[in-house]
Amino acid sequence: MKAVVQNRYGPPEVLRIEEVERPVPKDDEVLVRIRATTVSQTDTHIRRPDPVLWRLIAGLRRPRWRSLGVEMAGVVEAVGPAVTEFKVGDEVFGQPRLFGTHAEYIALRERAPITHKPAGMSFEDAAAVSDGAMQALSTLRVADVQPGQRIVIFGASGSLGTAAVQLAKNIGAHVTGVTSTKHVDLVRTLGADEVVDYLREDFTKSGEKYDAIIDAVGKGSFQRARRALKPGGIYIATDGLRNFFWWFWTWRIGDRRLKFAAGRRTKADIVFLKELIEAGKFRAVIDRRYPMEKVVEAHRYVETWHKAGNVVLTIGGDAGT
């Protein structure tokens, strides 16, 4: 089978397409022929790696995972004898435990966060759901967002951000989306009650107070944003180093907390997302689509930090319904 591989860290040019051995599903696994996947910020971080602490996860001297990719949609090609939920020909979507979806096939455990693809949804759209939405669910849970609360999604036009806006509205929160000028209309169409163009206005200086602020792009600062939090308010960080000091400090004193988003990818969550999609309460946001052969270009674009929603990588030709 074909797969996007890398043998060393570096710029997008370290990626290439090679013939590799096709996986054989174990007794409790399904073999999925991947039709579409995405290139995420996580993929670009691991490929470089940047920041350097990613090496602790991805390998100190060389990449632990030759093929990246954190989500997919495809068709079940084979099933192990212990599998009962899926059968050959089923259309599925979801995530592996770690990486490996930048390839034509992947073997996944039946209990992994995968489920049947929503009816009528294309493979491209389905592939662009799970990673951002799973992260968004984690941030909202850590913030304990409740109906009627006022929250901010900083970076509301990215993969995590576009999902967080929709999921927070589904909870019943009042959502303020913060984004750049060119994405204001997009964030509004996702259901945000208010949209702030950060190039023209600093939401932390508006005088509004919020129950939670979610930094969906890992570029915000608790030090600056805390003045916009209500007493007892929570700031959710999605980066590691910039806010670590403040996490330690607010854990001990003060009435405004900084917390880090963390959570497992679960089958229950992917089933929940499927139900929301089929109820018309959630949609994937796709910025650009690239064929597998143009994976280098896809990585370059993701690294501009200008994408809205997701960048899809199609595998093996047409990735329609």
Q: What does the domain layout of the chain look like in residue ranges?
A: 2-129+285-314, 131-260
| 3-state class (DSSP) for residue 141 | helix
* E strand intervals along 23-173: 29-38, 72-79, 91-94, 105-109, 114-116, 150-154
Q: Which two structure tokens, joined as six digits, stand for 98?
A: 């770690």
Secondary element (H or E) of residue 210? strand 210-215
Residue scoring higher pLDDT (46 or 243): 46
Say how many CA atoms lie within 13 Å of 76 toward its Cβ.
25
Mean residue pLDDT of the chain comes to 92
The residue with tokens 């999921």 is: 167
Q: What's the pLDDT at 250? A: 58
CATH code, residues 2-129+285-314:
3.90.180.10
Q: Which two structure tokens, joined as six digits, stand for 244?
A: 């670590």
Mean predicted confidence (pLDDT) in 27-50: 94
CATH class of domain segment(s) 131-260:
alpha beta
- Evaluate if residue 260 carries a pLDDT over 60: yes
Respond yes or no on whether the N-terminal peptide bond of residue 49 is cis (omega within 30° of 0): yes
Mean predicted confidence (pLDDT) in 106-131: 97
pLDDT level of residue 241 (50, 70, 90 thresholds)? low
DSSP output for 233-261: EEEEE--SSTTHHHHHHHHHSSSSEEEE-
* CA–CA separation, 77 and 32 (whole Å): 5
Mean predicted confidence (pLDDT) in 257-280: 91
Q: What's the pLDDT at 244? A: 59
Q: What's the pLDDT at 251? A: 56
* CA–CA separation, 220 and 248 (whole Å): 17
pTM: 0.92
Q: What's the pLDDT at 287? A: 97
Mean predicted confidence (pLDDT) in 25-41: 97
Q: Strand 72-79 and strand 286-291: pairing? A: unpaired
Q: Angle at which helices 130-142 and 267-278 pack, to 10 degrees?
A: 110
Residues in CB range of 264: below 8 A, 6 or more apart: none
Task: Tell me what percent of the residues of the chain surpass a pLDDT of 90.
Answer: 79
